[in-house]
Amino acid sequence: MIKAVIFDLDNTLVDFMKMKNLSCEAAIDAMIGAGLKVEHEKAIKALFKLYDKYGLEEKAIFQKFLKKVTGKIDYKILASAIVAYRRVRTGFLEPYPNVDYILLKLKDKGIKIGIVTDAPKLKAWIRLASIKLSNYFDVVVTFEDTKQHKPSKLPFLAALKKLNLKAEQCLMVGDWPERDIKGANDIGMKTCFARYGNPKIKKSNADYEINDIRALLNIVK
């Protein structure tokens, strides 16, 4: 019997990539407007190559981008990028449809709800507060709690300890097979692949797959 559902945060509860793409588009436009001599599409590709290298949470990404593209940091251009990015990020961070409905339904069933995310603690809580979901969760495990990224067992084990449950009593829901699904499978959790958050994946190796978060209700019956 499933007694807890543990979610990944980005691209499982929060439409993170929509926010990231729109924010980066705005930042590039702002840099070009501030005098950066670069084609928009080439700049976007270069920026996301750096994200691939350093991670989507890299704080100094625009500094690295400017050094890569121009060999130096122009602080007028850097400031324009940061302001535009933050302005758009705030406006477009949103949950997937029906997330709040499902969280309420799970609560009504007496099922505990948790999060295991690789995001830094403050950023994770800011995202939850921004979309007004911060009060739903019994447990939130972030990078600082174990200093390990998924698929390490440590973040999942930390969640189990805080929930006071066994692995087989929990369902992990995530969009990243190599991290969310593998890490949870390795300690014996049931797993559910959120295909709506990562539709390009061909094989997830999860126990369940869903295209809509509402399908969780059929899994936890």
Write the pLDDT tens digit of every residue in 82-136.
Answer: 999 999 987 788 899 999 999 999 999 999 999 999 999 998 998 899 889 999 9
Residue 73 CA to chain centroid, in angstroms? Answer: 29
Which strands sit side by side in the sheet containing 112-116, from one edge to the other? Answer: 139-141, 112-116, 4-7, 170-174, 190-194, 208-210
Among left, alpha and beta (phi > 0; psi -120 to 50; other), residue 210 is beta
Domain ranges of the chain: 4-15+94-219, 17-92
In this structure, the strands spanning 112-116 and 190-194 are unpaired
Phi and psi at 56, nearest 5°, equal: -70, -10
Report the pLDDT value the prediction gives residue 221, as an integer from 0 to 100: 84
Question: Which phi and psi angles does 20 have, rounded to 5°?
Answer: -65, -45
State pLDDT tens for residues 6-16: 999 999 999 98
pLDDT cut 90: percent of the chain above it: 89
Sign of the four-CA dihedral 7, 12, 13, 19: positive
Task: Please answer whether residues 170 and 3 qualify as being in contact, where contact means their C-beta atoms are separated by less than 8 angstroms.
Answer: yes
The C-alpha R_g of the chain, in whole angstroms, comes to 19
Give residue 5's pLDDT. 98
Q: What is the pTM of this model?
A: 0.85
Domains 4-15+94-219 and 17-92 share a fold: no
Q: What is the pLDDT of residue 57?
A: 85
Given this model, what pLDDT does residue 90 score? 78
Q: Which backbone phi and psi does 209 adopt, to 5 degrees?
A: -135, 140
Please answer whether residues 152 and 146 qualify as being in contact, where contact means their C-beta atoms are separated by less than 8 angstroms.
Answer: yes
Options 1.10.10.60, 3.40.50.1000, 3.40.50.2300, 3.40.50.10360; CATH for 4-15+94-219 is 3.40.50.1000
Mean confidence (pLDDT) of the chain? 95
Amino acid at site 104: L
* pLDDT computed for residue 9 by the predictor: 96
Lowest mean pLDDT of 29-38, 81-90, 141-150, 160-169, name the range. Answer: 81-90
CATH number for the segment(s) 17-92: 1.10.150.520
Residues 42-71 have pLDDT tens digits of: 999 999 999 999 988 899 999 999 999 999
